[in-house]
């Protein structure tokens, strides 16, 4: 019960911290420092959790608590990184993902051979 309460408390604290950090108003070096600190914290948390799991009399319970603590930190760090990348590049990240989808769709369309049913339906009126 204590490990679940600890995981819930850390998740709530991480979400509050995510919304309180000045990610949208800081300069690029400050944001990079915040994200690098978060990544270093994640690595240290993993190391601490592995050590505590190995020494625990109930390693399964400790592992569940460790996952419940580290997964939210990882997800919030990923979300913060993605938010900052989009903010810095002024929409290039999202436009880049959209361009990849379009390029992949065009590439798959070009791979269809003239004998394919889809090819015949698309080119039926162009004859």
pLDDT, tens digit, 9 for 90 and up, residues 41-92: 889 988 998 998 899 888 888 888 888 888 888 888 888 877 777 777 665 5
Q: Which residue has the higher pLDDT, 71 or 22?
A: 71
pTM of the model: 0.58
- Return the structure tokens found at 83: 């938010």
Angle 115-109-96 from CA coordinates, rounded to 5°: 175
Q: Which of 33 and 119 is assigned the larger pLDDT?
A: 33
Q: Are 79 and 35 in contact (CB under 8 A)?
A: no
Predicted local distance difference test score (pLDDT) of residue 17: 84
Q: What is the pLDDT of residues 98-123, one digit of tens each?
A: 666 666 666 666 555 555 555 555 55
Specify the pLDDT at position 90: 60
Out of 3-12, 19-28, 45-54, least confident range:
19-28
Sequence-separated (6 or more) residues with CB below 8 Å from residue 76: 14, 15, 17, 18
Could you give the C-alpha distances from 7 to 18, 65, 82, 92, 101, in angstroms and in order? 16, 6, 24, 36, 37
Determine the average pLDDT of the residues in 24-45. 81
Q: Among residues 46, 49, 93, which one has the least CA distance to residue 74?
A: 46
């Amino acid at each position: 019960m204590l490990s679940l309460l600890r995981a819930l408390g850390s998740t709530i604290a991480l979400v509050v911290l995510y919304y309180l950090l000045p990610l949208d108003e800081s300069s690029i070096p400050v944001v990079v420092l915040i994200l690098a600190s978060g990544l270093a914290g994640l690595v240290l948390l993993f190391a601490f959790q592995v050590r505590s799991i190995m020494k625990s009399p109930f390693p399964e319970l400790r592992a569940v608590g460790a996952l419940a603590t580290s997964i939210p930190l990882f997800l919030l760090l990923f979300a913060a990184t993605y938010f900052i990348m989009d903010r810095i590049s002024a929409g290039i990240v999202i436009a880049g993902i959209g361009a990849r989808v379009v390029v992949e769709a065009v590439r798959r369309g070009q791979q269809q051979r003239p004998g394919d049913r889809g090819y015949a339906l698309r080119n039926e009126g162009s004859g």
